[in-house]
Amino acid sequence: MILDFVAEAVKGFVDMEWRDEGIILGTRRHGETSAILEVMTRSHGRHLGLVRGGRSRKQQPVLQAGNKVDLIWRARLDEHLGTFQVEALDLNAARLFDSASAIYGLQMLAAHLRLLPERDPHERLYETLELVIDHLDDPVSAGELAVRFEVMMLDELGFGLDLTECAATGDRADLAYVSPKSGRAVSRAAGEPWHDRMLALPAFLLRAGLRADAVALDDAFRLTGFFFNRHVYEPRGLAGSEARAAFLGALKRYRSGFDEGGGSAVS
């Protein structure tokens, strides 16, 4: 009994520690020289920690949103903020900061991830985040990947869309709508009488590798935005994401510039 008591007491003085990879979502100042780092990690979810000397010239280029880093987290107790030791893996920020759509895209992704409980693991979401960031400086691919990320976010938040079969008939072919009430797919034939009440279901969301035109992409973001508003923002008393609106605006400006310029556009 005495040995058990001593063992439990000693545990309180043993530092907690883990190592993981993560993608930086943001930083904020702490004191004169340090920074509080917010990261999405592969195995430990969205996590915060103190980086001592994080405002130094050496650390600042590493602690930029979008960068992939190797992390060691230490704390006396699991519920403490703890400290991060950070090493760069992929310095994506320098590449992404030349693109307006990429900057707003990063902000949108971070805003979505902040809807999740801190330290709640979402490994599948982390892997998708990594893929989206790899393509954020290509506005065409960025839009398609970002809206797929939103579909996955809804699922991780517990409000996933069922796009596998028609809610009315069970058919899996020619799915063209989503019911705003149930979030389930509806076939073209079954939904046609109520098409003005339905949300459009772009085909590219159903088939990997299928590209989206401007109309399909707008329909996809309208679809995810509807369910974010209904199930996430409104119940929490939140306004719609400003970062999301800015990202969609950047994509629209890119498309307009491409169409008018006949070949290239500034993102």
The helix-helix angle for 139-156 and 123-134 (nearest 10°) equals 170
232 shares a domain with 114? yes
**What pLDDT is attached to residue 210?**
87
The pTM (predicted TM-score) of the whole model is: 0.89
Query: Do the Cβ atoms of 86 and 67 come closer than 8 Å?
Result: no
Nearest to 72 by CA among 104, 41, 34: 41
Residue 187 lies in a domain: no
Residue 168 lies in a domain: no
Helices (H), the chain: 2-11, 93-96, 100-113, 123-134, 139-156, 188-191, 214-228, 242-261
Q: Name the domain boundary from 71, 91, 111.
A: 91
Q: How far is CA 237 from CA 92, 232, 233, 245, in A?
A: 34, 9, 6, 18
Q: In the chain, how many domains are there?
A: 2
Query: Do the Cβ atoms of 213 and 140 come closer than 8 Å?
Result: no
The fraction of the chain above a pLDDT of 70, given in percent, is 91
210 shares a domain with 156? yes
Residue 154 lies in a domain: yes
pLDDT single digits (tens) 42-87: 999 999 999 999 999 999 999 999 999 999 999 999 889 999 999 9
CA distance 75 to 79: 8
Residue type at position 184:
R
Residues 6+ apart with CB under 8 A from 117: 45
Domain that holds residue 52: 15-91
CA distance 39 to 214: 32
Residue 37 lies in a domain: yes
249 shares a domain with 211? yes
pLDDT single digits (tens) 128-169: 999 999 999 999 899 999 999 999 999 999 999 999 999 999
**What pLDDT is attached to residue 7?**
45
Residue 181 lies in a domain: no
Residue 6 lies in a domain: no
223 shares a domain with 121? yes
Residue 2 lies in a domain: no
Q: Name the domain boundary from 62, 91, 120.
A: 91
DSSP string, 38-77: EEEETTTEEEEEEETTTTSTTTTTTSSTT-EEEEEEEESS
**What pLDDT is attached to residue 4?**
52
